[in-house]
Amino acid sequence: MRDIKELYDLWLEKATADPDLKTELESVSGDDEAIKDRFYRDLEFGTGGLRGVIGAGTNRMNVYTVKRATQGLAEYVLESGSPKSVAIAYDSRIKSDYFARCTAEVLAANGIKTYIYKELMPTPMLSWAVRKLNCGAGVMVTASHNPAKYNGYKAYGPDGCQLTLEAANTVLDKINNIDVFNGTKSMDFDKAVSDGMVSYIEQPVIDEYIAKVREQAIYSDVVAKSGLKVVYTPLNGTGNKPVRRILAEIGVKDVVVVPEQELPDGNFPTCPFPNPEIREALKCGLELCEREKPDLLLATDPDCDRVGIAVPDGDGYELFTGNETGALLLDYICKERTNLGKMPKNPVAIKTIVTSDITKAICAKYGVELREVLTGFKFIGEQIGLLEADGEENRYIFGFEESYGYLAGAYVRDKDAVVASMLICEMAAFYRTQGISLIEARKRLYDEFGVYFNKLDNFTCEGASGMERMNEIMTSLRNDAPSALGGLSVLSVTDYASSVKTAADGSKSEVALPKSDVITFNLEDDASVIIRPSGTEPKIKVYYTTKGATRDEAVALEEKISADFTKLLGF
């Protein structure tokens, strides 16, 4: 049992590298709850790396937790047999550039050659740099779409994917043996540059990435001829330059950028939750749409690996879900590549288990093999890597997850809002030349395959008590699963932690996916409920899927199921 008061006093004495830390620690003196929240645990390092509130303490993102994690990563790289080099990128968040430099200082001091971008860059460009520069690992300093008080640290392997479960556990074991104040090596950043241990990533690497994105286009000339008009917001993040560049290159001549959200700003003053999944983040963009009347609103999150859209619908603009955009893109890619004779032999698409099952119907129509993986884009990247190992990466045509992450092409191994923005605009332009809006394209998709309704509920569980509550909920569901939800019988329960699927009659079968803290309830009428604790946020997530002849029918069914399940969880 850790002595929290002792840790607090130790940090008050030794946390001198960043003056903000001492100021914060002094401000919570005598506040036992505030102190406990900062020190009751170490910020967890998992397959998503680190993510937490910026501040002082072992349970916060700060120079010491970043350097400790980097020391663990450095020791892993040195022993891994992979190249002794690491690529680093960072986004617009508070202290991202500082944490990136700290990361480089530790790596350099450990004798590891480090490459770092000169300015903020999207997450997919970190994945690209790892592969292009033949690095043994990569670090992206970002908290993705979390509120401004958060920052994070994503760690990547030599394949350009986020670390595997096994690799992350190895790094974690090393981190746990490192003293936060005395166990890390470090050297001055400028000296590391002059010594050649740190080098800046130059423009040709960026240009080649953009060229790889361009290669994923299906039609090279449709956009310029379409008259497509776009309003774009980078949500004060990294997408501003690369997204505008790729749109210009494919021929989108009319792009209006949301002025309040154009430039990098880690405070996100006009969008407290810089997440393109939610309407609040798009408020400024939607207001601009009312004046500009574009064909499309594009919004990328701060590290530009997710993209959301809104499209004209009557007098206003409707936000599409990640499932809807992904399904439209998958159908468009399959249909048009087939029409042009550009579909590879034995094509492969990949989705996560919580992503819409309409993908199964689309893939069946076009003869595409659909692979399902656990939640997390690294598992999609892992499947691309398996294809590449067999010399078959060209079989991969598209992968996506419901949380607005998409990737076409095998040049990177993480979701990429730059290529997704390009393909969304191309798709919208293509349909526009045929007199079809994206609203109409979605209607045609549902007319053909049925209306799939997907909804995500998030239940926040902050602090130590929140972690305990999440564990209790998952344990309770495993020990006492419901037999019916919303009037529909539960046909089977899949527990990915034990890799066992249990049918209603008690029969069991094995699940061929890595173990994970996820439970799926498969119901009658193609409905399902999936629950998992977030790996990056203090939340428990519940995914609902229903299917109906109409949207109203599917929504009504979801409301009945979610009401039952929410009551069962005690929220």
Q: Which residues are catalytic?
A: 144
The tokens describing 415, both together, are 């979701």
Gap between the Cα atoms of 390 and 424, Å rounded: 30
Distance CA 78, CA 87 (A): 15
The CB density around residue 226, as the number of other CB atoms within 10 Å, is: 22
- Which of 493, 526, 525, 524 is CA-nearest to residue 511? 493
Secondary structure (DSSP) of 350-403: EEETTS-THHHHHHHHHT-EEEEE-SSHHHHHHHHHHHHHTT-GGGEEEEEETT
For residue 50, which of 155, 135, 147, 166 has the smallest C-alpha distance?
A: 155
| DSSP conformation class of 164 | P
Alpha-carbon torsion 291, 292, 298, 304, what sign?
negative
Query: Cα 248 to the chain's mean position, in Å?
Result: 26
CA-based nearest residue to 546, from 563, 532, 571: 563
CA separation for the pair 325, 398 (Å, rounded): 13
